[in-house]
Homo-oligomer: A and B are copies of this chain.
Amino acid sequence: MTRSGRRPGESGTREAVLAAARHGFGTAGFSGTTIRGIARDAGVDPALVHRFFGSKEQLFAAAMELPVDLAAVVPALLAAGPDGLGERVARTFLTAWDATPGQGPMLAMLRSAVSDPAAAASFRDFATRVVLGPLATAASPDRPELRASLAAGQLLGLAVARYVVRLEPLASTPAEALARDAGPLLDHCLRGELGS
């Protein structure tokens, strides 16, 4: 089989895969959803899903219209070493949110995570396994899971305060300045001395 260019019907197939992915991630969570199952629901071959979207993480990002490639972003954040890790995480997070006008799809994901337990489970799985677990494990050997959930709480709180509740002046502080303020908080979660 040779790789082909975009053909008639391909965009319909992509949409069918994305719809099946949104349904799967939304009901079975990130861990409970497989490329194979999504392909079956969309009526296509799993190899086609891989060819169109890459990994399960990349498919999730596409389904959620995330403006960053998380599979590439997390290793890049870690590669620069532990100094300033929290600030880089905060900057990447805030820049991704700010880059989407109105924060449409990401805000929709956050709203459904808050209102719908299945969406919350999907979000929880994804955030912990793909993003925060690897970050925390790389940052400290001391209770990485607790650190990951504390750091996730930080980022959730920043997103809710900035884009949902719009608390001022946090909401209108430029991402770059806010990343400098929030960086030490994330560093404390990832590498600081925990009180408990």
Contact = CB atoms under 8 A, between A and B. Distances in A.
A181 B166 contact: no
Given A113-B165, A120-B166, A87 B195 contact: yes
Contacts of A165: 113-114, 120, 123-124, 127, 152, 156
Nearest to A119: B165
A170 B146 contact: yes
Contact of A192 (B152, B155, B184, B194): B184
Interface residues of A, number: 51
A4 interface: no
A138 interface: no
A162 interface: yes
Contact of A114 (B115, B146, B152, B195): B115
Contacts of A110: 114
Given A114-B115, A161-B152, A161-B153, A178 B196 contact: yes
Interface string A124-165: 100110000000000000010110111011111110111011
Contact of A153 (B162, B179, B188): B162
A91 to B, nearest CB: 11
A189 B185 CA distance: 8
Given A114-B115, A181-B195, A153 B158 contact: yes
A160 B170 contact: no
A24 interface: no
A19 to B, nearest CB: 23
